[in-house]
């Protein structure tokens, strides 16, 4: 054998490098990148949240927990957190729910054209969220938008303040646009799981009289339990990471009604220049991330 690293091979199968050093060479590049660009900034965010300082200001003042005291009294922070939760739970229902139904139909419901449908429904996943948001921005426009026309054509009245201008519905529209893009991803993920379910299980169930919806409920869902857990985890993490859709569709508006933690951090940091306070919001996001990461570990160990 020719070694790609020159001639390290020695007689008798002795290794030239200790296992530890070998491990280090293979592991350290990835680990150090994660440390430097994920964990160090996370620590700095925590320490930075104890100060008050501006984006352009040369000095910073220690304020202790001052930023956090301000945070719990800040109604926009609570709106942001609530919106993140709406997106997490709404996406679980819409993306995984609809994804599940579509996948089940593709798996056992229809045969002709299934690749065609699968390809089309997955397509938006490839498109950047920014592009998706810009297209939808025009569809949702109150003056010439397609959605208004469609709603009017079936005899309903579109919201007078505009789909994205009405604070009562705008976050649900953001959720809907995200579902438009991401449902295909969940569908294909779940489909992969469904195709791994052995045919015999359905046959056995059919003998017991379980067909159609009953088979789906009693056979299919339990069989893809692991994949559903992965799907829920990915959706939850995505729901807290959401930034692009909100930033492009509404910039957090109208009047902060669609603000999420990510965009609120950005607003405080880079538009208003309150870096210390932005860090405090970020720390809440970090705590949530650690919590989900821990859940993910628990689950992956079980699986």
Partner 1 sequence: MSYLMKNRSRIAAAGLALGVLGAAGGANAQEIKMWNLADAGGGEAEFLLDAAAEFSETHPGVTFVFETFPNEAYKTQIQIALAGSSPPDVFFNWSGEDAMRLARDGLALDLTEYANAEGGFAHEMSDGWLSSFAIDGRYYGMPTHAVSKYFYYSTAFFEEHGLSEPTTIAELGGLCTSIREIDSSIVPWPLGNNDRWKLNHLITMLNHRVLGDAGTAADYNLSAPADELFTNPGYVTAWQAVLDLQSAGCFEGAPNATAHESANAMFSAEASPMIYCGSWCAAQFHGEGFTEFGLFRLPAFEGGAGDPGAGFLVPTGYQVSAKTEHPELVAQWISSLVSDENAAKFASTMEAIPSNATLIDTVDGTEHYKWIAEDMASATGSVNVLDVLLENNVSNAYLDAGVEILNGTKTPEEVMADIRAVAIAAQDAM
Partner 2 sequence: MMSKFRITKIALYGIMILWSTFVLMPLVWMVLASFKTRREMFTAPYDLPSALTLDSFERAWGVGLGWFIANSALITVSSVGLIILVSGTAAYVLARAKSVWLRMAYIAIVVGFAVPVAAVIVPLYQMVSAAGFVNSYVGLIIVTSAYGIPFTVILFFAFFLDFPKELEEAARLDGCSKQQIFFRIIIPLSGPAVASAAIFQAVFVWNEFLLALLLLNSPGRKTIPVGILQLQGEFTSDWPAIMAGLSLATVPLLLVFIVLQKYFVRSLAGLGK
What residues from 109 to 168 belong to the interface with partner 2 (CB under 8 A)?
A: 109-110, 113, 115, 117-131, 134-139, 144, 146, 149
CA end-to-end distance (rounded Å), the chain: 38
Distance CA 174, CA 165 (A): 12
Positions in 34-53 near partner 2 (CB under 8 A): 34, 36-42, 44-45, 48
Min separation Cβ 207 and partner 2, Å? 19
What string marks each residue from 70 to 109 as x (binds partner 1 by CB under 8 A) or -?
x---------------------------------------
Q: In this chain, which stretch among 25-33, 139-147, 232-240, 281-289 interacts with partner 1, using CB under 8 A?
A: 139-147
The entry of partner 2, partner 1, none that residue 222 binds, CB within 5 to 8 Å by partner kind: none
Min separation Cβ 51 and partner 2, Å? 11
Q: Which is nearer to partner 2, 48 or 162 (CB)?
A: 48
Min separation Cβ 268 and partner 2, Å? 9
Please pick, from the candidates 71, 94, 102, 257, the single residue that binds partner 2 as defined by CB under 8 A: 102
Q: In this chain, which stretch among 9-17, 38-46, 87-95, 156-164 interacts with partner 1, using CB under 8 A?
A: 156-164
Please pick, from the candidates 247, 252, 256, 259, the single residue that binds partner 2 as defined by CB under 8 A: 247
Min separation Cβ 31 and partner 2, Å? 6
Positions in 247-266 near partner 1 (CB under 8 A): 253-256
Q: Could you tell me how many residues of this chain bind partner 1 (CB under 8 A)?
A: 30
Q: What is the 3-state secondary structure (H, E, C) of the chain?
A: CCCCCCCCCCHHHCCCCCHHHHHHHHHHHHHHHHHHHHHHHHHHHHHHCCEECECCCCCCEECCCHHHHHHHCCHHHHHHHHHHHHHHHHHHHHHHHHHHHHHHHHHHHCCCCHHHHHHHHHHHHHCCHHHHHHHHHHHCCCCCCHHHHHHHHCCCCCCCCCCCCCCCCHHHHHHHHHHHHHHHHHHHHHHHHHCCCCHHHHHHHHHCCCCHHHHHHHHHHHHCHHHHHHHHHHHHHHHHHCCHHHHHHCCCCCCCCCCCHHHHHHHHHHHCCEHHHHHHHHHHHHHHHHHHHHHHHHHHHHC
Q: Which is nearer to partner 2, 135 or 151 (CB)?
A: 135
- Contact call for residue 176 and partner 1 (CB under 8 A): no
Q: Could you tell me how many residues of this chain bind partner 2 (CB under 8 A)?
A: 115
**Residue 17: which region, alpha, beta or left (left: phi > 0; alpha: psi -120 to 50)?**
beta
Q: Which is nearer to partner 1, 165 or 238 (CB)?
A: 165
- Contact call for residue 222 and partner 2 (CB under 8 A): no
Please pick, from the candidates 15, 82, 168, 214, the single residue that binds partner 2 as defined by CB under 8 A: 15
149-165 b/e (C-beta count within 10 Å ≥ 16 → b): eeeeeeeeebbeebbbb
Contact residues: partner 1, CB under 8 A: 52, 54-58, 70, 140-143, 159-167, 253-256, 267, 270-274
């Amino acid at each position: 054998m020719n070694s790609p690293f020159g001639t390290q091979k020695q007689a008798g199968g002795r290794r030239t490098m200790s296992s530890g050093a070998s491990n280090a060479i293979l592991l350290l590049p990835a680990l150090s990148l994660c440390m430097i660009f994920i964990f160090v900034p996370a620590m700095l965010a925590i320490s930075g949240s104890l100060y008050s300082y501006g984006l352009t200001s040369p000095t910073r003042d220690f304020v202790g927990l001052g930023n956090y005291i301000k945070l719990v009294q800040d109604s926009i922070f609570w709106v942001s957190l609530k919106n993140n939760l709406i997106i997490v739970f709404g996406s679980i229902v819409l993306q995984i729910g609809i994804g599940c139904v579509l996948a089940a139909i593709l798996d056992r419901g229809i045969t002709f054209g299934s690749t065609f449908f699968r390809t089309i429904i997955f397509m938006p996943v490839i498109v950047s969220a920014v592009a998706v948001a810009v297209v939808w921005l025009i569809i949702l426009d109150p003056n010439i938008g397609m959605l208004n026309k469609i709603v009017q054509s079936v005899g309903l009245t579109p919201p007078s303040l505009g789909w994205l201008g009405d604070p009562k519905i705008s976050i649900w529209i953001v959720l809907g646009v995200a579902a438009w893009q991401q449902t295909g991803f969940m569908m294909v993920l779940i489909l992969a799981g469904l195709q791994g379910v052995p045919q015999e299980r359905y046959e056995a169930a059919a003998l017991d009289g379980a067909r159609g919806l009953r088979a789906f409920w009693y056979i299919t869902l339990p069989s893809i339990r692991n994949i559903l857990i992965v799907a829920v985890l990915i959706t939850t993490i995505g729901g807290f990471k959401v930034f692009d859709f909100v930033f492009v569709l509404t910039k957090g508006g109208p009047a902060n009604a669609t603000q999420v933690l990510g965009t609120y951090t950005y607003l405080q940091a880079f538009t208003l220049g309150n870096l210390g306070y932005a860090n405090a919001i970020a720390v809440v996001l970090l705590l949530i991330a650690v919590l989900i990461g821990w859940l993910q570990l628990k689950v992956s160990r079980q699986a």
